[in-house]
Structures are given as structure tokens and as C-alpha cells.
Amino acid sequence: MTREAAQPAAPFGARLRRAMDERGPLCVGIDPHASLLADWGLNDDVAGLARFTRTVVEALGETVAVFKPQSAFFERFGSRGLAVLETAVVEARERGALVLMDAKRGDIGSTMAAYAETFLRQDSPLFSDALTVSPYLGYGSLRPAVDLARESGAGLFVLALTSNPEGAEVQRAVREDGSTLAATMLGHLAAENAGAEPLGSFGAVVGATLGDLSSFDLAINGPLLAPGIGAQGATPADLPKVFGNAVHNVVPSVSRGVLRHGPDPAALRAAADRFADEVRTALA
């Protein structure tokens, strides 16, 4: 029996722009690591994982623009953990939130194509609106994911200037032409997004903790996922000075800053609302 081709969705960039305009730009991570499960009074097992994830999705799924589940925290439980992740993806999207799968996949050839099919093919159980990817086997290695994302109406977020200190030794390395590797990746993304309206579908991951980034051209006509808000030390008020003129395309990402307020759904909503209000004020 052959698979019936799914109809492509509207481009991710257009759907993201609409979601941010209607719900605010906040992205909430779903990171069920062992210590957070314990803080919620849950066991570090599949039942605890499922309870945690269901609570977050039910509490915030109708208000936040984007969920960012970290796949590693589900994969560590094997097939049962992946089943929880599959359910979360479907239920989050049913509530109107976009799902950005934080899997940071990166490989070459048929392997990269298989990763893309896992997360970006519309009839996949883990189909997500967007996927984080690593370009450090060369930007061209991402081509299978870029092509499938265009076909399915999904998006990508490419690691460019990440918030972890170790990233600088690779991302700020200087090439023979004098440009940094991060700048090269930003240039590729600008080319992917050329002419897209109202927003391109191919974004960059740029840490909100990095301070002045005026030496980098962040005007890629695509979204800029900004981890580091909350527990890592950055605040919404930092966004304008970090991102400059590109700040209105920023998707600030908060995980522990919201999740530590669980398991009470009302407390989770209140924490997310506070961050969203702070972001709106910072970007006004």
C-alpha cells in the first residue's frame, strides 16, 4: 500500500509570524530532566515523564506560540519515551501551538535525509513544525532537511551562535576569506529566506546571553531562536541590545524559568504570562 502524500502546510515562517503576533513570541521548552521531575514530586520513569509532559502541554498549549521539546530527555526512556513525545507533539499542535523539535540533528547524505524524514515528513509520527539542526559537517550537508522542510511547509533552526561557552571555539573560528563560521551560516540562511514574506522559514539559533552581536548580520529575514532567558541568566530586557534591528524576529526560549513553577497548571500559566509580558515590554 502506498502512502498518500500529505498536502503541504503554509510555510513555517508565515505560520510562526502569525502565532507570535497572536500569542506573543515566547517559546517554552519541554525539558523533563531527572532533577526537574524530582522537583515536581515525580519519579524518573516513563509515568513521571508522561505526567510532566501532559501537564505542560495542557497548561500552556492554548496560549504559547511555540513549544520546544528536547528530544534527548524522551529518547533516554527508549520506545516508551518516544511514544510520550509523539503524543505531546500531536496534542500541542491540536491546541494551536507550533512545535519546534530540539533534536540538533546533523549528518550527511542518506542519514541526514532519514533524520529529516523523522521530523519533517508530514505523515511521520514525530512530524514537527520545525527542527533544530547542526551545520558543522558543512552547510550543504543540511540540504536534505532544507528541501523536505520546503516541501512540507516546515522550518529549520540552524546552530549559529549558541549560548554555551564552548560553542565559540567552532562558531567564531575564522575562515580563509576572513569571515567567521557563524557569519557564514547566517549568510546561507539569508539566502534561503530571500524574498520570503512575511518571514522566512529558515532560522538561526543565537544565544540571548551573548551580549553585543553588532559585528554579525542577524538580518536573515528569518526567525532567531534565542535560548538563555531565565535560568541561564539573560532577561527579556537584554534582547534589544543583543539582537539590534533584528529583535522583532526573535523567538525567546524559556525552559526552567517556567517549568520550575510546576506541577500546578495555574502557576505554570502565570510564569509563562509573566515572561511573555516582559518580552512584549522589551520589544515595544
**What cell was used for 227?**
535560548
pLDDT value at 283 more than 70: yes
| Residue 64: exposure state from Cβ atoms within 10 A (0-12, 13-18, ≥19) | buried
pLDDT digits (tens, 9 = 90+) for 20-49: 999 999 999 999 999 999 999 999 999 999
The answer to whether the CB of 85 falls within 8 A of the CB of 69 is yes
Q: Residue 216: CA atoms inside 13 Å, Cβ hemisphere, count?
A: 27
Residues annotated catalytic, as ranges: 104
Q: Report the C-alpha gap between 212 and 240 in whole angstroms.
A: 10
Query: Which of 2.70.98.40, 2.40.10.220, 3.20.20.70, 3.50.50.60 is the CATH number of 12-174+194-233+247-283?
Result: 3.20.20.70
Q: Report the C-alpha gap between 162 and 220 in whole angstroms.
A: 16
- Break the chain into its structural domains and give their ranges: 12-174+194-233+247-283
pLDDT value at 7 more than 80: no
pLDDT value at 226 more than 80: yes
pLDDT value at 1 more than 60: no
